[in-house]
Amino acid sequence: MSQLNLNTIEEESLRKTFFVQVLLPVPIPKTFTYRVPQKYEEHIQVGIRAIVPFGKKKIITGVISAIHQDAPNDYEAKYLLELLDEYPVVSRQQFQLFEWMSQYYMATEGEVLNVGLPSGLKLSSESKIQLNPAFQLEQSPYIFSQIEEVVINLLKKEGLLSYEQFAEITNTKQTSVLIKDLLKKQVIMLIEQVQERYKPKTEKRLRLQKDWLDKAQLNNLMQQLDKKPKQLDVLLKYLQVVPVFNDSSKNEIGVAKSIFKEEQFSTSSINTLIKNKIFEEYEVITSRLDYLNRQENLDHEITLSPAQEACRDEINTIFAEKDVALLHGITGSGKTEIYLSLIREVIESGSQALFLLPEIAITTQMIQRVRKIFGDQVGIYHSKFSDAERVEVWQGVAEGTINFVIGVRSSILLPFNNLSLIVVDEEHESSYKQYDPAPRYNARDTAVVLANIHKAKLILGSATPSYESYYNAKTGKYGLSVLTERYGEGTMPEIEVIDMRRQKAKKLVKDDYSHSLLAALESEMNKGNQAIIFQNRRGYAPYLQCETCGWISECENCSVSLTYHMHQHELKCHYCGYRQKSPSACLSCESTALVMKGFGTEKIEDDLKLHFPDVKIQRMDRDTTRKKYSYQQIIESFESGETQILIGTQMVTKGLDFENVSLVGIVDADRMMYYPDFRAHERAFQMMLQVSGRAGRSHKKGKVWIQSFQENHPLFNYLLKYDYEGFYELQLQERHSFFYPPFCRLIKIVLKGAQADSVRNGARLLYESLIGKLSSQRVLAPHEPMIAKIRNIYHMEIWIKLEKGYPLESTKSQIKASVNKLQENSQFRKLRVVFDVDPQ
Ligand code: ADP
Ligand code: ZN
Ligand code: ZN
């Protein structure tokens, strides 16, 4: 301080220099320092976006994360170019969350920002907008020499995007107009491009001028128009949509001009009506969100059953002591109404609430239900929504007009500033975990931290909780509330396991279906009931095999078999998308004895269509739900009863609620149980219980048929009794003896590269370095994952198992240090190394 006082001029100049840290959506583990042009000093705020130069050729948008006066000491900071917001788009709490996520999941904050910000709010370095030639000035003496001195000084002193000043000072000069123009145009274009996506959508409407709003006048008007039938038509149409005769206040709503155009009313008549001051044309801001433009009749009523009410009170009691409550309620127990009733309390008190659902479950049913209760305060955040729609939700949350968000995992990254309650429904779902790109976060676990940052409460709900959450509840870390009865008249369906070995021996199996399953299906169809058939494999047949030489159709790029898709007569790789025409003879020995092995949803669809030619059958899997509304259409058709049999992958296990389903068939239970993963049994049990839960949800009694060649497996003993807890206890012992979660923490390191050798050797070296630091008990030897090659890239994995309480942060630093060391070796520089904390 005393030094500053020595020289007022120096003090003055120092005082004026502001710097900002800008967080950029790039995978570099730091923020960048930029200088603030003087004219922006009073506008800078933490959380607003800035356009900045990045590298020599690019400009990108980032978010200001700090403001200070310390010039970087190892380089000269460039000027930021432009500010994009008047108000923060990233909240203080979000920065905290970003920081935690980047730390915990071993990603950079830029990577977190990148998945968090909808692309409508950012221009990534990928857009490769070149600031040509201005940013290359110093590198390009030729261009440099062409620019006036004044311009050069300005560029050096003021930063590039004082472009208005830039224009002002240089307007009179004739030289390098071209260069200036180029520069100006590019920056302006960029800003417009960014702001365009951010602009509200408007709609032109028509309404009657006030003078005509009384009945006598209106009658008068109609008589006047009697000789101008086209104009009269327009007026009549207007009165049909807006009955101002009955209620003149309705005139305020007006009618969208586009409606008249769509219905081919005469445009010139409309314009005459406007010109003659009969109609008034005006503009309103509308939402990009379809559901917000639809009127719902509000109905705040939520009536809970006594059991639901008790459960809600219990959760409130838990919240007096704990921040997290696990709601273990069987399928159909009515968990949703309990959430909604708790959420309503929060919204009414003026705070925000977040309701997370696994990807697929956001249906029209759900949207209508919450819109009825909460009206326009609801924002829906989903990957199938457009960018502009997502930006609108983002803005609404930041500004506080949206207080209730219902969304998928990325909605935990929205700019809440006043969050009081988070609900994670179906918390066991693995779709809460992001695989690629980094950050590989689990939204359920991140929700715990988000709740903590906001001092909010969290409910985790499931009929089949994850072992991690159940363990936390059993050991008292979370509160536990249990619902053991279905809402209303529903009862849990009876489950029967079909012993496929015996059935096959007795020749009671046709294709892949036992006679009992087919007979039961037939009988339910005759009664007019509906059925769900579950098989966790899409396509027709998982592979094609030659019976003569044993050859199997494999992908050229990946170490997996190609799936046969009958409808396109193609073999497809589900990992890289590779496809080829299905061969008619073996590619190895040319024998024509090719047989399809195993079966997927597509084959089941074909088979059942043969068995039940008069029944409408639909299939729901990744292949049939690629379009925005296709999922919804399938659901609606099943809901209306038009479709009688719905066949599907795990998509049909989640949260669907249909009254008329009396039969659920699980065609191949073994496939799920024998997957090489320590969670396979947990998953299989969850999936079978969840899909069983789709039957018998109303007064109709349901039944579940499970086909297995391993009917003595202990899993079934528990499943038949719906004994979630018993099976959990059994599994927990196994997890304990083999030291798996919830008893340890896992970090998975994946090395990827185009050369199998270098991947293998790199993994070996990394392993040796890691056991030196963490001991050989904690680091498992490198191994090939089940699919060791994808898109011609070889994979090797190293798993790290840490006992609870083992210092995590220092371990992560050690891991990163070992990886950096490995990559210093030129042989391994090209390896990609991926960290996955708490892999699923
Ligand atoms: P869960 O999510 O626990 O499997 P749901 O929330 O889907 O169960 O509820 C099952 C069915 O019962 C749904 O059709 C739902 O609309 C209905 N239901 C649940 N609670 C109520 C309630 N309090 N009032 C009216 N209907 C309810
Ligand atoms: Zn062959
Ligand atoms: Zn492939």
- ipTM of this model? 0.96
CA–CA distances in Å: residue 205 to residues 240, 275, 284, 285, 601: 15, 15, 7, 11, 49
Q: Does ligand 1 come within 6 angstroms of the Cβ of 305?
A: yes
Distance from residue 580's CA to the centre of ligand 2 (Å)? 18
pLDDT tens for 506-525 read: 888 887 899 999 999 999 99
Distance from residue 668's CA to the centre of ligand 2 (Å)? 27
CA 142 to chain centre: 49
Ligand 1: residue of 485, 487, 635 to mutate (most ligand atoms within 8 A of CB) is 487
CB-based contact 432:468 (threshold 8 Å): no
Contacts of 205 (CB under 8 A, 6+ apart): 254, 255, 256, 257, 281, 282, 283, 284
Q: What residues are paired with 83 via a beta bridge?
A: 50
Compute φ and ψ for 71, nearest 5 degrees.
-65, 140
Closest CA to 618 of 710, 712, 530: 530
CB-based contact 335:657 (threshold 8 Å): no
Which tokens is 409 given?
A: 């995992």
CA 510 to chain centre: 41
Closest-approaching ligand to the CA atom of 558: 3
* DSSP letter (8 states) at residue 797: E
Closest CA to 428 of 467, 477, 457: 467
Distance from residue 791's CA to the centre of ligand 2 (Å)? 25
Q: How many CB atoms lie within 10 A of CB 728?
A: 19
Q: Please report the atom of ligand 1 found closest to the CA of residue 302.
A: 23
Count helices and strands in the chain by DSSP H and E runs: 29, 33
Compute φ and ψ for 313, nearest 5 degrees.
-65, -40
Q: Is 311 annotated as a binding residue?
A: no
Q: How many CB atoms lie within 10 A of CB 145?
A: 9
Residue 404 to residue 421: CA distance in whole angstroms: 10
CA 791 to chain centre: 24
Q: Does ligand 1 come within 6 angstroms of the Cβ of 53?
A: no
Contacts of 758 (CB under 8 A, 6+ apart): 827, 828, 830, 831
Q: Does ligand 1 come within 6 angstroms of the Cβ of 25?
A: no
Residue 231 to residue 225: CA distance in whole angstroms: 7
CB-based contact 97:56 (threshold 8 Å): no
Q: Does ligand 1 come within 6 angstroms of the Cβ of 238?
A: no
* DSSP letter (8 states) at residue 741: T
Residue 665 to residue 532: CA distance in whole angstroms: 6
Which tokens is 816 given?
A: 């990163």
Q: Is 546 annotated as a binding residue?
A: yes
Closest CA to 794 of 750, 731, 735, 730: 750
Residue type, 656: L
Distance from residue 791's CA to the centre of ligand 3 (Å)? 6
The answer to whether the Cα torsion of 769, 770, 775, 776 is positive or negative is negative
Residue 97 to residue 111: CA distance in whole angstroms: 13
Q: Does ligand 1 come within 6 angstroms of the Cβ of 61?
A: no
Query: For residue 11, what pLDDT is reported?
Result: 47
Residue 495 to residue 291: CA distance in whole angstroms: 39
Residue 685 to residue 465: CA distance in whole angstroms: 11
Which tokens is 62 given?
A: 């980032």
Q: Does ligand 1 come within 6 angstroms of the Cβ of 337?
A: yes
Q: Please report the atom of ligand 1 found closest to the CA of residue 336.
A: 6
Q: Does ligand 1 come within 6 angstroms of the Cβ of 696?
A: no
CA–CA distances in Å: residue 221 to residues 152, 227, 393: 68, 11, 44
Which residue, chain included where needed, has tokens 């000043």?
165
Nearest C-alpha to atom 18 of ligand 1 is from which residue?
Answer: 334
**Radius of gyration over every alpha carbon of the chain, rounded to an integer in angstroms:** 32
Distance from residue 684's CA to the centre of ligand 3 (Å)? 26
Q: Is 744 annotated as a binding residue?
A: no
Nearest C-alpha to atom 15 of ligand 1 is from which residue?
Answer: 334
Residue type, 1: M
Name residues of the chain where pLDDT drops below 50.
1-12, 124-179, 182
Q: Does ligand 1 come within 6 angstroms of the Cβ of 329?
A: yes
- How many residues are present in the chain? 840
CB-based contact 646:664 (threshold 8 Å): no
CB-based contact 441:105 (threshold 8 Å): yes
Q: Is 558 annotated as a binding residue?
A: yes
Q: Please report the atom of ligand 1 found closest to the CA of residue 330.
A: 3
DSSP string, 304-335: --HHHHHHHHHHHHHHHH-SEEEEEE-TTS-H
Q: What residues are paired with 552 via a beta bridge?
A: 545
Q: How many CB atoms lie within 10 A of CB 565?
A: 20
Q: How many CB atoms lie within 10 A of CB 66?
A: 13
Q: Is 555 annotated as a binding residue?
A: yes
Residue 428 to residue 83: CA distance in whole angstroms: 42
Which residue, chain included where needed, has tokens 């999941």?
105
Distance from residue 337's CA to the centre of ligand 1 (Å)? 6
Q: What residues are paired with 63 via a beta bridge?
A: 23, 49
Q: Does ligand 1 come within 6 angstroms of the Cβ of 713?
A: no
Residue type, 158: E
Distance from residue 205's CA to the centre of ligand 1 (Å)? 41
Strands, E assignment, 610-708? 617-620, 645-648, 661-666, 703-708
Residue 86 to residue 734: CA distance in whole angstroms: 56
Q: Please report the atom of ligand 1 found closest to the CA of residue 333.
A: 3
Predicted TM-score (pTM) of this structure: 0.80
Nearest C-alpha to atom 2 of ligand 1 is from which residue?
Answer: 335
Distance from residue 697's CA to the centre of ligand 1 (Å)? 9
Phi-psi region of 91 (alpha: psi -120 to 50; beta: other; left: phi over 0): beta
| 330 SS3 class | coil
Which tokens is 126 given?
A: 């990928």
Q: What residues are paired with 793 via a beta bridge?
A: 790
CA angle centred on 360, ends 358 and 362, rounded to 5°? 85
Nearest C-alpha to atom 10 of ligand 1 is from which residue?
Answer: 332
Mapping DSSP onto H, E and C, the string for 455-504 reads CCEEEEEECCCCHHHHHHHHCCCCEEEEECCCCCCCCCCEEEEEEHHHHH
Distance from residue 559's CA to the centre of ligand 3 (Å)? 7
| 703 SS3 class | strand
Closest-approaching ligand to the CA atom of 698: 1
Distance from residue 597's CA to the centre of ligand 2 (Å)? 15
Distance from residue 532's CA to the centre of ligand 3 (Å)? 30
Q: Does ligand 1 come within 6 angstroms of the Cβ of 490?
A: no
Nearest C-alpha to atom 22 of ligand 1 is from which residue?
Answer: 304
Helix, strand, coil percentages, rounded to 5, for the chain = 45, 20, 35
The packing angle between helices 364-374 and 335-348, to 10°, is: 30
* DSSP letter (8 states) at residue 200: P
Strands, E assignment, 36-142? 49-54, 58-68, 78-79, 82-83
Q: Does ligand 1 come within 6 angstroms of the Cβ of 339?
A: no
Q: Please report the atom of ligand 1 found closest to the CA of residue 337.
A: 20
Contacts of 713 (CB under 8 A, 6+ apart): 673
CA 534 to chain centre: 24
Ligand 1: residue of 326, 336, 364, 370 to mutate (most ligand atoms within 8 A of CB) is 336
Q: What residues are paired with 563 via a beta bridge?
A: 572
CB-based contact 206:257 (threshold 8 Å): yes
Strands, E assignment, 500-539? 509-510, 513-514, 530-534
Count the alpha carbons within 13 Å of 661 in the hemisphere toward its beta carbon. Answer: 30
H runs (alpha helix) in 246-301: 257-262, 267-275, 290-293
Nearest C-alpha to atom 16 of ligand 1 is from which residue?
Answer: 334
Ligand 1: residue of 337, 426, 660 to mutate (most ligand atoms within 8 A of CB) is 337
Distance from residue 300's CA to the centre of ligand 1 (Å)? 16
Q: Does ligand 1 come within 6 angstroms of the Cβ of 246?
A: no
Residue 702 to residue 491: CA distance in whole angstroms: 8
Closest CA to 495 of 683, 650, 675, 696: 696
**Ion ligand 2 residues within 5 Å by Cβ:** 546, 548-549, 551, 586, 588-589, 591
Percent of the chain with pLDDT over 70: 86
Q: Is 576 annotated as a binding residue?
A: yes
